Amino acid sequence: MHRVAADPIDLLRTRTSAKWRRYEPDVLPLPVAEMDYPLAEPIAEALHAAIRRSDTGYNSGSLPVAEAFAGFAAARLGWEPDPARVTCTADVSMGIVEVLRRVVRPGEGVVIDPPIYPPFFDLVTEAGGVVVEVPLAGGIDEGWSLDLPGIEAAFAGGARAMVLCNPHNPVGLVHAREHLAALAELAERYGVTIVSDEVHGPLSQPESPYVPFLTVSDAAREHGVTVTAATKAFNLAGLKAAMILTASERGDAVRASFPYEVEWRMGQFGSIASVAAFRHGAYWLDGVLASIDDNRRLLVDLLADLLPGVRYRMPQASYLAWLDLSALGWGDDPAERALREARVALAPGPGFGREAGRGHARLNLACSPEVLSEAITRIADARERPTVVE
């Protein structure tokens, strides 16, 4: 299997995105979900061609992206979404909010399952809902799963929607088909809408392919709305394009109720890049997945050698590693000390849920093996030094 090599660190530091401008130059930045790999050549060429023809106007609508994604999904994901049942918008978070605004009334509960992508907490409240936390069952040692009894109790208690992370960020869990089907049955029983964020789906490893929620059952198609994009798999977050997909008349009614501006928010370059990614980016993506696989395995060895008390379970999907750093004795937010004393930036665990994230941090694996090794070495060295008192 071919690999895609990360760009050299000196070149990466010339980037102007959040990952490379948020910290001082001596910091290794591994918190933000951006890849260090060069852009796929078919995407780069499509964008250069757009510039050459001054193709910088408004996007032409959802259909070009929807049709390209339908082909990609059929070839790689075992899913045949209907392009006519897709509405594009700027990004996944925006899509989640727009759906929630139409399926929950102000003050109604929306389930999320920590540890979870931190913006989910804000997206629920932005839409007028109230966060209902049902943490994942299990843990690093035995693996995670949906807490179906806890979710049912929340639905029975009046929660009207759930934002599902499928695959799950930050733990890299690929939800089992039977668990998704059981969740869909609960949604049907209680009249709940499942808003499934599937942006990490194309980043599942070959031995653990993710299951699109809308494929698991009639109940899932009736009560599910999926929001996804090319942005994570192809490193296009700054170009602004995402899709909201439905598979039933109930779901279609949600999309039909959107203001027309929802679709206009998609960026023209996001549309162009997404089409190129879905049509021509598969070879590049396979190489990226192989490189991520190397790094997720390398991290096992690095932790065993340098930080044997730190707990980690290899993610089945995504390029994010969820680390239990409690053994370091660095408090509830070990990322703070990692940044101050090791000059390694991690995503702070408590942001993923106050209880579920305590003592944890998230690390980005989409980097070179050398950067990953240097980061763990720095943290190990900092552990041995006396605490810096400011």
- pLDDT at position 385, please? 76
Region 101-107 average pLDDT: 98
For residue range 240-256, list pLDDT tens digits in order.
999 999 999 999 999 99
- pLDDT band at residue 384, thresholds of 50, 70 and 90? confident
Tell me the two tokens of residue 387: 């605490």
State the CB neighbour count (10 A cutoff) for residue 103. Answer: 22
Burial (CB count within 10 angstroms: exposed 0-12, middle 13-18, buried 19+), residue 157: exposed
pTM: 0.97
What type of residue is 12? L
Closest CA to 202 of 317, 372, 370: 317
Evaluate whether 224 touches 180 at the Cβ level (below 8 Å). no
For residue range 313-331, list pLDDT tens digits in order.
999 999 999 999 999 999 9
pLDDT above 80 (res 387):
no
Q: What is the mean pLDDT of the chain?
A: 97
132-142 burial: b if 16+ Cβ within 10 Å, else e: bbbbbbeeeee
Tell me the two tokens of residue 122: 């804000």
363-385 burial: b if 16+ Cβ within 10 Å, else e: bbbbbbbebbbbbbbbbbebbee
For residue range 181-235, list pLDDT tens digits in order.
999 999 999 999 999 999 999 999 999 999 999 999 999 999 999 999 999 999 9
How far is CA 8 from each of CA 202, 345, 348, rounded to the nearest angstrom? 25, 18, 26
- pLDDT at position 308, please? 97
For residue range 347-359, list pLDDT tens digits in order.
999 999 999 999 9
- pLDDT band at residue 386, thresholds of 50, 70 and 90? low
Region 164-169 average pLDDT: 98
- pLDDT at position 367, please? 98
Instruction: State percent of the chain over pLDDT 70.
Output: 99
For residue range 28-86, list pLDDT tens digits in order.
999 999 999 999 999 999 999 999 999 999 999 999 999 999 999 999 999 999 999 99
For residue range 333-376, list pLDDT tens digits in order.
999 999 999 999 999 999 999 999 999 999 999 999 999 999 99
- pLDDT band at residue 1, thresholds of 50, 70 and 90? confident
pLDDT above 90 (res 390):
no
Domains defined for the chain, CATH in brackets? 9-38+282-384 (3.90.1150.10), 43-280 (3.40.640.10)
- Helices then strands, each counted (H, E), the chain: 16, 15
Evaluate whether 7 touches 37 at the Cβ level (below 8 Å). yes
Least confident stretch, 94-103, 197-206, 222-231, 380-389: 380-389
How far is CA 168 from each of CA 87, 245, 317, rounded to the nearest angstrom? 23, 19, 8
For residue range 247-299, list pLDDT tens digits in order.
999 999 999 999 999 999 999 999 999 999 999 999 999 999 999 999 999 99
d(CA 365, CA 358): 21
d(CA 227, CA 81): 12
Region 81-100 average pLDDT: 98
